[in-house]
Structure 1
């Protein structure tokens, strides 16, 4: 959050281990999955609100161990973010909103489509979305990729044009 522009670095994941349950590990699917992306203004606003809420929980001495470690802890399963619990929550939200056809994968594809409609090249989209072998074979460096993604999304009308096509 202190970088200019603010950024998010992927350097690990929560995994379910037999006999242990959910735990954070500094290992991703592949070496190219370790990446840093720039955050949009909207994402920064969400992160700042969440960090403010976590600070208030710590000040009130009601913060859990997961509140200290994770920005978006899960209320169940000892607070460790749980991909399965998130998918179930999204499923309930999609169904309640009248969109039973939507999935977490649908959201991912929507983001990629918006990047494409904003004019970002295929290699840059794949790099931002975390595609692995294909990107490594075609793209030697990701220098400038996140910046180009934000620039494409900030173009006048890019977000609105993408929304109208969905």
Structure 2
């Protein structure tokens, strides 16, 4: 059974707007660290990418942006997809006003482009990309893959948790929002 996303995404959008307007999220919305996603690992994940991210609670801004860009249904579709998922903390590192600007209706295509830069067609597990130097995103650009001090890097983002399984793909949790060139 799929979780309805409209009311949750609307509240996520409101929370994201508050975070980027300089207000803090209430303590009750504090989420477990992204590393706690490990309990989702397994071959028979029951939730799709959106449900898995929503359940964790560390991806409120990502989900709000996906809703604003009209990408929720894509991320809930059969796939499979690999989601390079920036945490709320990753979005908070962006310059002041950046997210609020991207969430404006007139910037929907730019927001969609940024988000599609975080999605790879197919299910790319960590072992699949080891040894690769880049992967192509649905946005059409490449993301560099490297290892630095024993950590996997995607451009300048560090992978905090890898191979979080969903019914329609896999999530790799990253600590920085990836921005396509241009």
Same fold (TM over 0.5): no
Name the structure where helix makes up a greater proportion of residues. Answer: 1
Structure-2-length-normalised TM-score: 0.25
Name the structure where strand makes up a greater proportion of residues. Answer: 2
Structure-1-length-normalised TM-score: 0.27
Rg (Cα) greater in structure:
1
Which structure has more relative contact order (CA 8 Å, sep 6+)? It is: 2
